[in-house]
Amino acid sequence: MSSTIDHVGIHAPKDQFESIIDWYKKALGPVNYREIMRFPGAVGLGSEHPDFWISETDEQCGGFHFAFIAHGCYSSWRKVQWRSWNSSRVSSTVLWGICVGSTGQQCGSGWSSIHR
């Protein structure tokens, strides 16, 4: 089954913009995501076309949730683990090829995950 979603975007505080982009590039590397397009204040990541956008903002961010599917991989929720990060540190858990992370205080209470 394919999705009809063309792209999704999140906002990042200006002072954390580049570090958040770096974190997502590392976290999404296992599903072949990379930086494809860059404009002042916006970066598009994807495996073939930029379908995941990160834009910088001066404003407080709201919460969000999104999940990336790694087709053909084991998909048990018991295998998915996540850690929070805050404004002073970005961390992720890499376990059985699963990379997941969470936004901290500055960008709301949302979290993202990769399900394998």
**What's the confidence (pLDDT) of residue 101?**
40
Q: Are 61 and 10 in contact (CB under 8 A)?
A: yes
| Total-model pTM | 0.59
**What's the confidence (pLDDT) of residue 6?**
82
The predicted model gives 1-26 an average pLDDT of 86
The architecture CATH gives domain 8-115: Roll (3.10)
**What's the confidence (pLDDT) of residue 63?**
62
Q: What percent of the chain has pLDDT over 70?
A: 48
| pLDDT tens-digit readout, 58-105 | 887 666 666 666 655 544 433 433 333 333 334 443 322 333 344 333
Quick one: the chain helix, strand, coil %, rounded to 5?
20, 40, 40
Q: Are 45 and 33 in contact (CB under 8 A)?
A: yes
